[in-house]
Each structure stands twice: as C-alpha cells, then as structure tokens.
C-alpha cells in the first residue's frame, strides 16, 4: 500500500494546500509534551507573549489528540476536523491509507514522544513526534484559529543534513537575502564563490508543493546539494522559500485567484533581478534551473526576461499534468504487487477529478472540491494553457535537459517528449542518468518514495555536468 505514504503523500497527495507551515515557522515550544506545556503555563500570566504561548499550548494538545484518533483507528472522526480544502484533498479513507502505510513500513505505533509547535501568522503547526516500532515519524498537523486541520504532512524525523563530499565550504560563503518586494517578498539564501568574480549564476525553481529553499523531501535536500556543489565550482546560486510556504495563509484566502504564474514564475523573475544587481555576478550569464514542475515553467521564465541567458530542466515534465497524476497513483499502488480496494477507490476518485480537465467548459463550472487536490479551476485552466515544449522550442536560448532514468514521477517518456519536441533546435543538450531518481540521487531497481526517506545527495556527476554547462562558452 503506497498511496499516501511518508514521501508519496508529501509529493503526490500533498500539493501545496496540505502543508501550510514548515520549518520556517516560528517555534513556540521547546519539545514539551502537552502535559508539560500545561504545567508550565500558569507561571506565564504576566508574560506579554502569554496569548501566543496559550495558542501554542492549545495547538500542541489538539495535534496530539488528532494523532490519538489516528492511533485509535477513528479516521472518520479525525477527518471531521479537516477544513474545506483539506476535505477536498483527502477523505477518511485516504487518511486511513496514509496512517496504515506508516505502520506497514515501521511496525506498530508505540506512542507520542512529545510535541513542538511552530507559528506563522494565525496558523499553528503541531509537530507530533510519533514513535513506531522501527522508526520515528514527525506528524505536522497545521491548525487554523478555529482549531480545524488545514494542513497535514507525515515525514521521517530526519537526522541533521551532512554536506556531500563534493562540497567545499572553504570555496564559498552564504548570505541571507529577500527575494521580491512588498507583500510577496520571500526569504532566500545566496551562495557566493569566494573571489571578485564575475561568476555565472543560477536561480533554483522548485517543483510543486510548499517547498523550502533546500527543496527538502524526506531526508534529502537537493537544492542545498546543488547550491553547495555549484558554489564550490565557481557558480553563484540563489535559492528561496516558495511563496506557497512563506505566504501560505495569505494564499489560502486567495485560492480562487492562484495560478502557476504566482507559484513558479513571479518569484523566479524577482530572483533574476536580484542576481543582476549583485556585483560578483556576470550579468550576461544568469540562468534559471527548474526541477520537476519548476522545469515545466523554466522556459517560460527564460522567455519572460531578457536577463536570463538560458535554462536547465531537471526532470521537467513534458506531458499534460493530469496524465502524470494518474500515472503516479497507479504506479504507487502497484509497487507491492497488490492493488488494495482502498487504492482502487483512490485511483477511481482521482480519475473522476481529472476528467474535467479534458473539457474546458466542464472545467470552468466544476467546483474546486471536485478537482484534483481541491485546487480551483483557474489554476488548472492556466496550467492547461501552458505548452512548455512549444515555449522552449521558440525560446532561442541555450537549454540543458537532464533526466533520471529511475524517476517514476517524471519519466523517460517526458524526456523523450522534450527530445522530439526540440528536435532540430540549436543549442539544446540532453542527458539521462541510468541510476538516478526524481531527486537525482542514486539507487537501484524501481524507484519508490521510500528512497527519499534515506540519506542521499544529488549525484556528483550531475553537479559536474551542470557546472561545466553553466560555466561554458558564452550563450
């Protein structure tokens, strides 16, 4: 049973509505259990932050109770605490599949070891440490002011990230920056090679989901690998938190207006502008690198700015998104050789949800609750209107298309789609890697979401290929 598992849920079912708060939130408790937090509360009456502390305590208690319902098998009762977008994205059966998927991998649930909380605006995330027989899982239960669950994400309690062997911290420095201005400004970090420059530079554009600047997935941080590896080789790298993470609460209120332009393009263009103003950056060699869904939009970003010299597509999808969604569901359900009844139901439900995407008139009148992941029609209309291959073909700028052959999320069929669609176009380079997965880390056999939960790094050969291309002859 794979649909809704630890990494599969985060990448497939998660979308950006399912994880409204993450490590960028302000932490308000220090690893206390709900009981410990309650014991500490009376002494804080005169504290000016007492209201925030009380909110955090209540969030911790609610998060622990929610996990308690899952442990007791009360999935319908747990799902009754979901807000509207969560109900549209995951029902009680999906919640049951996710929880039982954890048990299938990690053995019996032993109990809650403690709860931390993080706060972003009016939202509180309860970080519930769940002990299973063979592992520890962090359940992130995001709560709105009314106590409803507005986000849910299961992931392994990961050990500290260790830099890859190809990173040399003596050869670069990092500086915190702010990408963009005004209401949508988002925090980021600039990795700068030591020396006067000017150096080539690249903006990293995430895939779907509320991703942090490192594009953290399970125990892997591919964007941090790229930044450390490329900066060690004389390339400036800019990475940032997606606005679906840093402005989750605001976006939730503007859901009907949200499109891929806001999710991928606008912040990337602001990042390009930031790089152009950096003294150590060669203004003639600023590139964008899009991963996964970010790769679908990298050509559009490059098209929108004369300051972008070219684009890199890492596992960029070439096919319609609706088809890819269904394929992922079917693939994950088949991994253990048995498609369980609830998995058949989940696949059938998603097939019903993607059906309106094939008919523009039907899509326009279909409510968000009946569309994939509860995402409104305006988003899907914009996605369907975007022809990434056609944009890339007319771009007139250098392109590098890289693909892991073990990738089950964006497959070799997508890679072949780029090859065919860009046949005869000058200054386009293609390369695939037999042992690499969607995150460009190495493995063997069929790709699974479980490997994202193991320590790993972007393969050294990818870093070398990228550095060579980015620092190559002038575009």
CA distances in angstroms from 2 to 17, 201, 211, listed in the order given: 21, 39, 22
**For residue 46, what pLDDT is reported?**
44
Q: Give me Rg for the CA atoms of the chain.
A: 22
Q: Tell me the C-alpha distance between 158 and 63, whole Å.
A: 20
Query: To the nearest whole number, what is the mean pLDDT of the chain?
Result: 85
Which architecture characterizes domain 6-156 according to CATH? Roll (3.10)
Would you state the pLDDT for residue 18?
A: 31
Rounded to an integer, what distance in angstroms lies between the CA atom of residue 30 and that of residue 427? 53
CA-closest candidate to residue 264, choices 237, 288, 233, 234: 288
Residue 49 in this model has a pLDDT that exceeds 80: no
Is 407 noted as a catalytic residue in this protein?
yes
Assess contact for 173 and 196: CB atoms under 8 A: no
Would you list the DSSP string of 446-457? S--GGGGGS---
- Percentage of the chain beyond pLDDT 70 is 88
The helix/strand/coil state of 439 is coil
Q: What local confidence, expressed as pLDDT, does residue 93 receive?
A: 87
Residue 323 pLDDT exceeds 60: yes
Do the strands 310-314 and 281-291 form a parallel or antiparallel pair, or are they unpaired?
Answer: parallel
pLDDT band at residue 203, thresholds of 50, 70 and 90?
very high
Q: Pick the catalytic residue: 22, 211, 292, 441?
A: 292
DSSP letter, residue 25:
S
Percent of the chain with pLDDT over 90: 55
* Residue-wise pLDDT tens digits, 458-471: 999 999 999 999 99
Q: Check 116, 212, 407, 414 and give the catalytic one.
A: 407
User: DSSP secondary structure string, 176-218?
Assistant: EEEES-GGG-EEEEEEEESSS--EEEEEEE--SSS--TT--BT
Domain map (residue ranges) of the chain: 6-156, 169-315+387-470, 322-355
Beta pairing class for 281-291 and 199-205: parallel
pLDDT digits (tens, 9 = 90+) for 82-104: 988 888 778 888 888 889 888 88
Catalytic residue of the set 247, 291, 386, 438: 438
* Fold classified for 169-315+387-470: Rossmann fold (3.40.50)
pLDDT reported for residue 141: 92
């Amino acid at each position: 049973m794979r649909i809704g598992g630890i990494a599969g849920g985060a990448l497939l079912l998660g979308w950006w509505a399912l994880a409204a708060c993450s490590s960028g939130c302000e932490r308000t408790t220090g690893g206390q259990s709900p009981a410990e937090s309650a014991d500490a509360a009376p002494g804080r009456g005169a504290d000016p932050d007492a209201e925030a502390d009380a909110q955090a305590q209540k969030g911790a208690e609610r998060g622990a109770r929610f996990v308690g319902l899952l442990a007791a098998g009360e999935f319908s009762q747990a799902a009754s605490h979901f807000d509207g977008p969560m109900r549209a994205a995951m029902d009680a059966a999906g919640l049951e599949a996710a929880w039982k998927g954890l048990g299938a991998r990690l053995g019996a649930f032993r109990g809650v070891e403690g709860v931390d909380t993080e706060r972003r605006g009016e939202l509180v995330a309860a970080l519930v440490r769940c002990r299973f027989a063979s592992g520890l899982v962090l359940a992130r239960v995001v709560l709105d002011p009314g106590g409803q669950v507005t986000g849910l994400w299961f992931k392994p309690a990961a050990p500290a990230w260790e830099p890859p062997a190809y990173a040399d911290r003596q050869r670069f420095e990092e500086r915190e920056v702010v990408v963009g201005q005004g209401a949508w400004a988002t925090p980021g970090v600039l990795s700068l090679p030591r020396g006067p420059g000017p150096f080539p530079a690249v903006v990293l554009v995430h895939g779907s989901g509320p991703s942090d600047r490192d594009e953290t997935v399970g125990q892997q941080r591919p964007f941090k690998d790229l930044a450390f590896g490329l900066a060690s080789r004389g390339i400036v790298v800019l990475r940032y938190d997606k606005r679906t993470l840093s402005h989750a609460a605001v976006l939730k209120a503007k859901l009907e207006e949200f499109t891929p332009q806001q999710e991928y393009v606008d912040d990337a263009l602001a990042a390009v502008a930031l790089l152009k103003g950096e003294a150590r950056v060669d203004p003639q060699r600023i590139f964008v690198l899009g991963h996964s869904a970010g790769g679908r939009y990298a050509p559009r970003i490059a098209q929108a700015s004369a300051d972008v010299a070219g684009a890199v597509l890492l596992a960029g999808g070439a096919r319609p998104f609706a088809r890819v969604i269904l394929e992922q569901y079917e693939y994950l359900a088949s991994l253990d050789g048995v498609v369980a009844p609830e998995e058949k139901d989940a696949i059938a439900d998603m097939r019903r949800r993607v059906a309106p995407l094939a008919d523009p008139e039907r899509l326009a009148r279909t409510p968000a609750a009946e569309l994939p992941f509860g995402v409104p029609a305006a988003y899907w209309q914009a996605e369907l209107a975007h022809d990434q291959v056609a944009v890339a073909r007319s771009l007139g700028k250098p392109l590098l298309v890289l693909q892991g052959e073990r990738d089950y999320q964006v497959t070799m069929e997508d890679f072949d789609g780029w090859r065919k669609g860009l046949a005869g176009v000058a200054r386009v380079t293609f390369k695939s890697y037999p042992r690499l997965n969607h995150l460009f880390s190495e493995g063997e056999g069929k790709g699974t979401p479980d490997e994202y939960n193991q320590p790993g790094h972007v393969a050294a050969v990818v870093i070398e290929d990228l550095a060579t291309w980015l620092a190559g002859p002038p575009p």
